[in-house]
């Protein structure tokens, strides 16, 4: 039986050290900031994340580009030529056409290399929620699970990965078409903070809105308190848009209330950060349902 490689994309925001430790390969993604174009890798080799958010705060607009079929063909084929198969866990198909590109590439390579398996899975997840799923999958692989069984396990369990968000700058939601200009103006004036989550279809959906940053962070914690299971066995991820103190405050709420296995705080990368802006906070954990 051939060995296989777990692959994800840079939208996952997987920490570079974790990707190396788990032997997970990461497909880079492209974005522009101002008039310059970059590729995003887990090691931030082309643009560090602090500079990215500083330039956003200074008014530069960032845009993202989906991964095209040709990039997937090259990336997957390199793995096949090393005599390994591919299990790709993708960014949510409801938020990007990236997954569809991976399906087309996998179909072409499965025809070209019929003795190799190239399996692509729609995580219906984003940023560190995608990483949480990838981390769990890598643990199952290390326990000896084969590629077909792991593919089924991911499909059976991906909707247990809960995603909850709040953003600080409503103008980024306005630019992304998720909020009208008038709503963003009024919300900013009244210090309104939206609460959003990723639903079972992998779509980003507004849930609630509250006044004040601290209250918004407490609402995120409340969702964890309501929906999570077996926290003492879980790794919880908190993502932040260059607002580490808010991330640590949310971590303190969790650790004061529960004995959790691990909390990992990591920046939201430029792909998701292009749409959420500076000051976003994200929370990911395993729960009963989304």
pLDDT value at position 213?
Answer: 93
CA separation for the pair 274, 269 (Å, rounded): 8
- 131: exposed, middle or buried (C-beta count within 10 Å: 0-12, 13-18, 19+)? buried
What is the dihedral sign for C-alpha 80, 25, 288, 126?
negative
With contact defined as beta carbons under 8 Å apart, do 154 and 148 qualify?
no
Q: What is the CATH number of domain 160-286?
A: 3.30.1180.10
Angle at 95 between CA 93 and CA 98, to 5 degrees: 50
What do you get for the CA distance between the two ends of the chain, in Å? 36
Task: Give the per-residue pLDDT at 197.
Answer: 95
* Per-residue pLDDT, 42: 98
Q: What ranges do the domains of the chain cover?
A: 4-158, 160-286
| DSSP helix/strand/coil, 103 | helix
CB atoms within 10 A of CB 283: 26
**Residue 167, burial from CB neighbour count under 10 angstroms (0-12, 13-18, 19+):** buried
What is the C-alpha separation between 271 and 277, in angstroms, rounded? 10
pTM of structure: 0.94
| d(C-alpha 60, C-alpha 45), whole Å | 20
What pLDDT score was predicted for residue 288?
Answer: 84
Contact by Cβ (8 Å): 178, 276: no
pLDDT of residue 185: 38
Write the DSSP string, 150-170. Answer: HHHHHHHHGGGEEEEEE-S-H
Give the other-Cβ count within 10 Å of 242's Cβ: 21
CB 262 within 8 A of CB 237: no
Q: 4-158: which CATH topology?
A: Rossmann fold (3.40.50)
| pLDDT at residue 41, as a whole number | 98
**Residue-level pLDDT, tens digit, the chain, 290 residues:** 899 999 999 999 999 999 999 999 999 999 999 999 999 999 999 999 999 999 999 999 999 999 999 999 999 999 999 999 999 999 999 999 999 999 999 999 999 999 999 999 999 999 999 999 999 999 999 999 999 999 999 999 999 999 999 998 766 555 555 555 445 434 444 468 999 999 999 998 989 999 999 999 999 999 999 999 999 999 999 999 999 999 999 999 999 999 999 999 999 999 999 999 999 999 999 998 88
């Amino acid at each position: 039986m051939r060995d296989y490689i777990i692959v994800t994309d840079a939208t996952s925001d997987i920490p570079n050290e974790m990707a190396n430790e788990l032997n997970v390969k990461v497909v880079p993604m492209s974005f522009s900031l101002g008039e310059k174009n970059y590729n995003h890798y887990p090691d931030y080799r082309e643009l560090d994340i602090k500079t990215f958010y500083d330039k956003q705060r200074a008014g530069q607009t960032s845009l993202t580009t989906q991964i095209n079929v040709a990039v997937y063909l090259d990336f997957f084929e390199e793995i096949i030529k090393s005599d390994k198969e591919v299990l790709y866990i993708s960014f949510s198909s409801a938020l990007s056409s990236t997954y569809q590109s991976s399906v087309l590439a996998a179909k072409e390579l499965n025809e070209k290399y019929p003795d190799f398996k190239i399996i692509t899975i729609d995580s219906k997840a984003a940023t560190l929620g995608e990483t949480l799923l990838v981390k769990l999958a890598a643990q199952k692989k290390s326990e000896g699970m084969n590629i077909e069984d792991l593919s089924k396990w991911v499909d059976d369990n991906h909707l247990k990965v809960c995603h909850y968000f709040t953003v600080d700058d409503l103008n980024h939601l306005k630019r992304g078409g998720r909020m009208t200009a008038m709503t963003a103006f009024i919300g900013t004036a009244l210090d309104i903070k939206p609460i959003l989550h990723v639903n079972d279809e992998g779509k980003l959906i507004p849930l609630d809105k509250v006044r004040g940053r601290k209250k918004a962070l407490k609402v995120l914690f409340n969702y964890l308190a309501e929906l999570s299971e077996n926290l003492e066995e879980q790794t919880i991820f908190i993502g932040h848009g260059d607002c580490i103190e808010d991330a640590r405050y949310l971590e303190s709420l969790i650790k004061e209330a529960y004995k959790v296995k691990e909390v990992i705080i990591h920046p939201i990368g430029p792909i998701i950060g292009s749409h959420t802006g500076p000051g976003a906070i994200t929370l990911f954990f395993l729960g009963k349902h989304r």
